[in-house]
């Protein structure tokens, strides 16, 4: 079943949708290295290598050869940096933030039966207008524009105004079998008045849930799991960073260092509040991977290999995101890491695709809902997952202590 892919990137979301039975009919992506990746791996796929602002819904339908057929799905993830809690939180004041409304425009023009829009969790709390003093002092700006969550509410309202009911799911890829802790929000909309449900978590690190244990990093990239690195390119740490990381045990972070070395290595960051658990972080085969980042060799977002004194490779990062081993990323090493780190885990694409495929079958057989809905829901499906404890009651741990206590730690270590 063909669909329209927007903000396609390296096609992580699309590969997941393929697993659910969809086929990209056309895509839009303006990052030149990502475009090269799409063209290399999907040479026959029509691609608009320009800003989405320069493309219309009719052009996309024509390129995908929909003819008079209804478009079943428009899917994509508008660039999320402006919404991320790690970014500057400029929201729609930032040009990247405005692209979410370009996604909405394409939906309005193409009139698909359904849409899938994914983004970072930070969008949940984003305000329409940033809480900056010069803006707060401007009485012309409605006060509700500064409220947390006002941007997402505006997005809901805009979709509702063009006839789409929207169900928003706050999820974590590790709950569905990915070897990675990665929170995302998924907006699934349809113009037939149905409300949909997303599967409850299928894996857990809590014994009381009576579910299979989380997949671990070791199951994804260890030699024992049969992993063969398809792209051993690396953005490695500097000699200075490697010196500090050499003192950190597998699974540990800056908490594992002597206090004086902590202060020396972290500088002013040592005095900040918060866990800062990614500083001088060394991964562990016994636990799921933390969220794959675009710059794994930074001190504050360190992704050091569990057994070797180096950053993880492009191929290892891609395996954590569950890209197929034969998916060849194009561009510089930096560009490849950017594509992998910005991608949606293929696992989430597949699960969301299965939900949408079931919805489309229902629409095909039953038409419009008997009691149509046109509003929104927000459902949290255990999105915030903690697996390890690095510091508790004044005691430092080497990242091998499970957040849920001793019996869970022993169970996790049995999986190594």
Same domain, 172 and 265: no
Strand ranges (E), 191-341:
none
Q: Are residues 192 and 44 in the same domain?
A: yes
Query: Could you tell me if 375 and 294 lie in one domain?
Result: no
Question: Residue 235's pLDDT band (boundaries 50, 70, 90)?
Answer: very high
pLDDT at 155: 94
pLDDT at residue 406 in the model: 57
Q: How far apart are CA 378 and CA 167, in angstroms?
A: 6
Does 120 fall in a domain? yes
Query: What average pLDDT does this structure show over 85-108?
Result: 77
**Same domain, yes or no: 104 and 74:** yes
Query: Model-level pTM?
Result: 0.92
Residues 39 and 178 reside in one and the same domain: yes
Q: What integer pLDDT is reported at residue 132 of this predicted model? A: 78
Residue 79 belongs to domain spanning: 2-203+344-380
**Same domain for 72 and 29:** yes
Indicate if the pLDDT at residue 94 is higher than 70.
Answer: no
Residues 23 and 143 both lie in one domain: yes
Domains in the chain: how many in total? 2
The answer to whether residue 373 scores a pLDDT higher than 60 is yes
Q: Are residues 147 and 269 in the same domain?
A: no
Alpha helices in 222-345 (DSSP H): 239-245, 259-266, 314-320, 333-342
Q: Are residues 395 and 368 in the same domain?
A: no
In 162-301, which ranges are continuous DSSP H helix?
217-221, 239-245, 259-266
Note whether residue 279 is domain-resident.
Answer: yes
Which is more confident, 110 or 146? 110
Classified as helix, coil or strand, 380 is strand
Active-site choice (27, 50, 80, 168): 80
Q: Within this chain, do residues 132 and 164 fall inside the same structural domain, yes or no?
A: yes
- If asked whether residues 176 and 244 sit together in one domain, one would say no
Do residues 287 and 362 both lie within one domain? Answer: no
The average confidence (pLDDT) of the chain is: 92
Contact assessment for residue 329 and residue 340, using Cβ atoms and an 8 Å cutoff:
yes
**Catalytic site includes residue 27:** no
**Considering the domain boundaries, does residue 211 fall inside one?**
no
pLDDT at 134 over 80: no
Q: Which residues 6+ apart lie within 8 Å of 145 measured at CB? A: 127, 128, 129
Q: Express each pLDDT in 178-198 by its tens digit.
A: 999 999 999 999 999 999 999
Q: How confident is the model over 351-366, as a mean pLDDT?
A: 98
């Amino acid at each position: 079943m063909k669909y329209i892919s927007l903000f396609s990137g390296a096609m992580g979301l699309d590969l997941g949708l393929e697993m659910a039975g969809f086929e990209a009919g056309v895509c839009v992506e303006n990052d030149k290295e990502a475009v090269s990746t799409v063209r290399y791996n999907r040479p026959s796929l029509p691609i608009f290598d320009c800003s989405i602002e320069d493309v219309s819904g009719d052009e996309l339908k024509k390129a995908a050869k929909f003819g008079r057929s209804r478009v079943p799905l428009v899917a994509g993830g508008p660039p999320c940096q402006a919404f991320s809690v790690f970014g500057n939180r400029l929201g729609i004041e930032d040009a990247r933030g405005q692209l979410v409304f370009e996604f909405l425009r394409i939906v309005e023009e193409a009139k698909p039966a359904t849409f899938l829009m994914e983004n970072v969790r930070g969008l949940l709390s984003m305000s329409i207008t940033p809480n900056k003093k010069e803006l707060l002092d401007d009485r012309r700006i409605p006060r509700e524009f500064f409220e947390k969550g006002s941007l997402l509410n505006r997005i809901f309202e805009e979709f509702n105004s063009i006839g789409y009911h929207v169900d928003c799911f706050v999820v974590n890829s590790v709950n569905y079998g990915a070897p990675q802790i990665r929170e995302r929000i998924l907006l699934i909309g349809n113009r037939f008045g149905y409300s949909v449900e997303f599967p409850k978590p299928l894996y857990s690190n809590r014994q009381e849930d009576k579910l299979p244990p989380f997949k671990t990093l070791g199951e994804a990239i260890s030699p024992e799991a049969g992993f063969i690195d398809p792209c051993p390119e690396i953005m490695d740490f500097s000699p200075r960073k490697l010196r500090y990381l050499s003192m950190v045990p597998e699974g540990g972070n800056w908490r594992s260092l002597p206090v004086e070395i902590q202060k020396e290595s972290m500088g002013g960051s040592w005095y900040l509040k918060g866990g800062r658990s990614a500083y001088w972080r060394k991964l562990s085969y016994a636990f799921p991977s933390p969220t794959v980042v675009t710059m794994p060799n930074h001190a504050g977002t360190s992704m050091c290999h569990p057994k070797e004194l180096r950053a993880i490779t492009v191929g290892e990062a891609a395996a954590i995101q569950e890209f197929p081993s034969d998916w060849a990323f194009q561009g510089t090493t930096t560009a490849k890491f950017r594509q992998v780190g910005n991608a949606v885990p293929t696992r989430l694409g597949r699960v969301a695709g299965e939900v949408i495929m079931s919805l489309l079958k229902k629409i095909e057989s039953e038409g419009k809902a008997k009691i149509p809905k046109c509003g929104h829901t927000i459902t949290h499906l255990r999105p915030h997952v903690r697996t390890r404890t690095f510091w508790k009651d004044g005691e430092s741990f080497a990242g091998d202590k499970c957040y849920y206590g001793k019996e869970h730690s022993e169970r996790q270590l049995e999986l190594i």
